[in-house]
Amino acid sequence: MQRVKDIFIGKNLLGKMENNGAEYQRKAVVLLSAYFIGIVVLSFFSIINLIRNDTVQTIINAGVLFVVISGYLLFRASGSVVLASYIFVIIISMQLLTDTSNNIYRVMWSYCLPLLAFFILGIRQGLLLVSIYFAAIMIYIFGFKTAIYPVDFRIRYPIIYLSIAFFSYYFEKRRLMAYNELEKVSARNNAILMSIPDIIAEVDVDRNYTWMNQTGKVFFGEDAIGKPASAYFIGEQSVYTDVDPVFKGDEKIIYVESWQRRKDGEKRLLAWWCRALKDAKGNVTGALSTAKDITDTKKMEEQLHQSQKMAAIGQLAGGVAHEINNPLTVILGFSQRILKAGELPLPLKDQMDLIVKASQRCKDLVQNLLEFSRSGNYIMEPLNISNEIDMGLAFLGSKISDAGVNLEKQIYSNIPDIQARKHALEQVIVNLCGNAVDAMPDGGTLTVTAAVVEKNVIIKVIDTGIGISDENQKRIFEPFFTTKEVGKGTGLGLSLCYETVKKHGWKIAVNSRLKEGSVFTLTIPVK
């Protein structure tokens, strides 16, 4: 079918028909049909006259046929409906007014011209052309060919011609009114669809995009039309399988969620509602879908879930910590008194040392639990960020050097003080840098930077360690989640950082790849 269109219509004219709307397409199709019919009829008359040895008429028909074909080729090249319409009508008029065979039925050709003029050129230009043409025919018949055409024909012809012209004008006017109303409705609906903030897209049975509103074009790009929907999928997805019932004619609206690539390359989660599109016979022609970007909503839901979970764990941790703290204080106090009381046998002294160290470790854990369960009604005071970072790194000095880690600091001097709970930032730095050192068992480089960027203090803790998997990155701020060996971590360090950051209105983010290290970014608004 496409090959036939390319041959008889031409790629240039097809392009204009696709880009200039339905009305231009209708006019072009009518004009092309008129040219094709004219070519066929003139070819037929040329052959008949050639068989009848009517050389003059054959030459006239052949000449007019050549001009008609030239007008057709000109229309294909230029795409001008108005110019091609005038050329066609003038050519047919010349054929009608050239009378060598005295065949009055040739003038019947003129009956089609009112329809052609009105349907292609419209009311204004069509009426003008029909009037001029009718006047020319009347002058020709009554002024120059009164002997050839009988009286009854000279009476019937203007009546029939005027009747056809009138009804052509009447129906074209009604068609034009209906078309204008349809255009208004279409424009209004299109404006509504284009202004909807959600994505609206249409695909054919092959799942190729055939239309989308402005929101869709902003998301996917102006070149999305014609591309398969799967071209924007990220990773393996079962979307096509999930929506397959739609393309089998199911009337239900099917909901799916899909990770898709935005035109800037960013990965976004879209929620789709899909339903079938059918023609008048009930055959599925494609699907119409609406989509909403729910990436940020999902993140907020996850954060809310995380906050609720943290709150519940915090209440539990606070209660447990208070219950443990009293007996633990007694154990630690008496153990220390026994060690200071006098000489003890060496084995017993070593055992008491282990009791004191274990009790102290439990006390630190209880203190972390209490810290985790605090409500956040802290006394805020000015803190110097540079001093807080230095104190946190000083606390970890021996750990950093013992691990063979090289420390690099990039602290800019224009960093203002912030309002925070005493030692809050120091605690965050200790936990982040301590974890960074643990992530570099074979040594490496720990980089701590601080700078002001767009009214925010950005602190980064960068290591060259083993990195964090994508799965673990989703859980690193959960209480008691740890990848360390038993006895080397409680899983509270990063969750305490998260709670401290959240309660102060700060933000914390992680970016990490396995075997490439990690970057923890702390964002503190400057008020």
Would you say residue 376 has pLDDT above 70?
A: no
Would you say residue 175 has pLDDT above 50?
A: yes
Tokens of 333: 């106090």
Would you say residue 148 has pLDDT above 70?
A: no
The predicted pLDDT at position 3 comes to 76
The predicted pLDDT at position 467 comes to 92
One DSSP character per residue, 56-90 reads HHHHHHHHHHHHHHHHHHHHHHH--HHHHHHHHHH
pLDDT digits 0-9 by tens, 273-284: 999 999 888 899
Would you say residue 373 has pLDDT above 50?
A: yes
The closest of 115, 66, 73 to 95, measured between CA atoms, is 66
Binned at pLDDT 50, 70 and 90, residue 377 comes out as low
The predicted pLDDT at position 110 comes to 65
Q: Domains of the chain by range and CATH?
A: 2-192 (no CATH), 196-293 (3.30.450.20), 298-372 (1.10.287.130), 380-525 (3.30.565.10)
| Per-residue DSSP letter, 383 | E
44 or 479, greater pLDDT: 44
- In whole angstroms, what is the distance from residue 517 CA to residue 170 CA? 79
| Angstrom distances, CA of residue 254 to CA of 107, 137, 230 | 62, 65, 17
Tokens of 402: 């013992």
The predicted pLDDT at position 371 comes to 61
Binned at pLDDT 50, 70 and 90, residue 73 comes out as confident
CB atoms within 10 A of CB 466: 19
3-state DSSP percent of the chain in helix, strand and coil, to 5: 60, 15, 20
Would you say residue 404 has pLDDT above 80?
A: yes
Would you say residue 375 has pLDDT above 70?
A: no
The predicted pLDDT at position 245 comes to 92
- In whole angstroms, what is the distance from residue 428 CA to residue 496 CA? 8
pLDDT digits 0-9 by tens, 289-319: 999 999 988 888 877 776 676 667 666 666 6
42 or 447, greater pLDDT: 447
- In whole angstroms, what is the distance from residue 339 CA to residue 238 CA? 67
- In whole angstroms, what is the distance from residue 204 CA to residue 364 CA? 64
pTM, 2 dp: 0.47
The predicted pLDDT at position 101 comes to 43
Q: Please report, rounded to a whole number, the percentage of residues in the chain having pLDDT higher than 70.
A: 85
| Angstrom distances, CA of residue 453 to CA of 417, 429, 459, 499, 523 | 15, 19, 10, 23, 9
Q: Can you say whether the dihedral through the CA atoms of 120, 122, 128, 133 is positive or negative?
A: positive
Would you say residue 440 has pLDDT above 90?
A: yes
Binned at pLDDT 50, 70 and 90, residue 105 comes out as low
Mean pLDDT of 332-346: 76
Angle separating helix axes 81-97 and 21-51, nearest 10 degrees: 20
Specify which of 109-123, 170-184, 196-210 reaches the highest per-range mean pLDDT.
196-210
Average pLDDT, the chain: 81
pLDDT digits 0-9 by tens, 111-130: 677 777 777 777 777 787 77
Would you say residue 524 has pLDDT above 50?
A: yes
CA angle at 182 for the pair 176 and 187, rounded to the nearest 5° = 125
38 or 288, greater pLDDT: 288
3 state DSSP class of 494: helix
Phi, psi angles (nearest 5°) of residue 209: -70, 130
- In whole angstroms, what is the distance from residue 271 CA to residue 267 CA? 13
Would you say residue 28 has pLDDT above 80?
A: yes
Mean pLDDT of 260-271: 92
Question: Regarding beta strands 267-278 and 254-261, do their DSSP bridges make them parallel or antiparallel, or are they unpaired?
Answer: antiparallel
Specify which of 190-194, 232-236, 324-328, 359-363 reaches the highest per-range mean pLDDT.
232-236
